[in-house]
Amino acid sequence: MPDRSSVLLKTVSEFLWNFNQASLESRLNSRHREMYVPCSSFNSEDELFDLIHLICKLTVICKEEDSIEMVRNNIFFFADLIDKVWDERSRRGVRLMFQKFSILHIRLFCLLLISPFAFVICDVAKANHNPDSEYRILETYPEDRPNIAHVNVGGTITSRAPTALSYFDYGEHGQFTPQEIIGLVPEIDNIAAIQVFNEEPIAQTDMPLAAATVMQAVADPEIDGVVVTSGTWALEELAYFLHLTVDTEKPVVVVGSQRPPNTYSSDAASNYFNAVRLAADPQSASMGVLVLLNEEINSAREVTKGAIYRLQTFESREFGPLGSTDPDRISFYRAPMRRHTYRSEFDVTGYTSLGELPRVDIIYGCRGCDDALVRAAVEAGSQGIIVAAMGDGWLPEIEDALREAAEAGVVVVRSSRAGENRVMPWHRYEGLFVSGDNLLPQKARILLMLALLETNDVSEIQRMFNEY
């Protein structure tokens, strides 16, 4: 075999041996015999890289602790098979010799390549040969790397899917540990040192506890930023809660994924990697809590989930993202203007869950609805009601019941189900109802719960909605 291929094989082998971290589960592609090499002959290292990249797609990735030892023990088989592939090029050209070798040969080849990072072997090996690559795997890490705290709030980004095609209903099949999530992208070690602050996920309903954990992290002078992994269903509410309660100028980034890490085309690894980049970037300081998915940076106050399954789900509808995590750098184009984090007046010290805060219910407005839900909320002990009303917060069918609730001391906030623009103060409701500005109903609920810890005065709560 030519010398250049020996160098390549040695590089790949060393990479497999050195990175013996936890791995993901995948399955062998049953259609492997129909795959082709994307080049007509193997006349260069790049073409051989293409071959190995193709083989990696067939790799079974497992969690066995001795998987790297298995690779080491079978390294000569790997070299022999590469020799056969190399020699075959002159006779069969573009078709890979899956027909020449038995299924057993193919599976042995896949077992040989078992590694936590089999899917990125080629890219990393290329990067290692390029001294200018930003994400080259380094033998020693920079001493001045930022220290980033990892706070685990669970969700899809930590969920273990039963199969590589399980894009829904995967919540009862276990979770990946924080170390496994960090290990998705070994290049993270080049840009930051990650410190895990909680192994077991915090429930999303325990937002005050999540805030306390983030506060614990930022209180450490060695910590430069925080990444919070979270499920996407209520990610925007968690992020806004942290935005209002975490007293820090350090970067805090909430990240999730739409697909579990061990599914095809998962966004978990790229989202987590970019979240670490964002938290480690000095530009992110004093920006409040940021949300990072799909390479877009959004403010916790403005972002919302717009699709159930699509990767481009999180958006700031009216104003757009703050910036993006481009491959070459972090790019910001605007900054949040409302009060947040280190400028916030809210303190949830001593609280653990949302259930300990004042009860606030959301009533969805529609044509023909009656006041049954309003009266039920009052009877259940609501201290506040958010009305997701039609248009500019108009409440015709339930206005009388809401007036009665307000006169009884329940704080009523007019918001809109439309999703964009401010709900403006109407003269007929002045001093009676609070105008929710442009906050979505679920965000208005978070702000009202915190406001009620301080006061139930309508004019004072209106000030808070105007400022936050």
3-class DSSP assignment, residue 292: strand
Three-state SS sequence of 58-96? CCCCCCCCCHHHHHHHCHHHHHHHHHHHHHHHHHHCCCC
Total residue count of the chain as it appears in this document: 468
Q: Rounded distance, CA 250 to CA 224, Å?
A: 6
The alpha carbon dihedral of 439, 443, 448, 453 has a sign of negative
**Catalytic residue set:** 156
Phi and psi (nearest 5°) for 293?
-145, 150
Rounded Cα gap, residues 331 and 323, in angstroms: 5
Asked if 434 and 412 count as a contact pair (C-beta separation under 8 A), the reply is: yes
DSSP state letters, 311-369:
TT-EE-TTT--SEEE-SS-EEE-----S--GGG-----TT--SGGGSPPEEEEE--TT-
Q: What are phi and psi of 310, to 5 degrees?
A: -65, 150
| Strand residue runs (E) in 133-241 | 147-153, 193-196, 225-230
CB 414 within 8 A of CB 405: no
What are the b/e assignments for 345-383, b being 16+ CB within 10 Å? Answer: ebebeebbebeebbbbbbbebeeeeebebbeebbeeebb
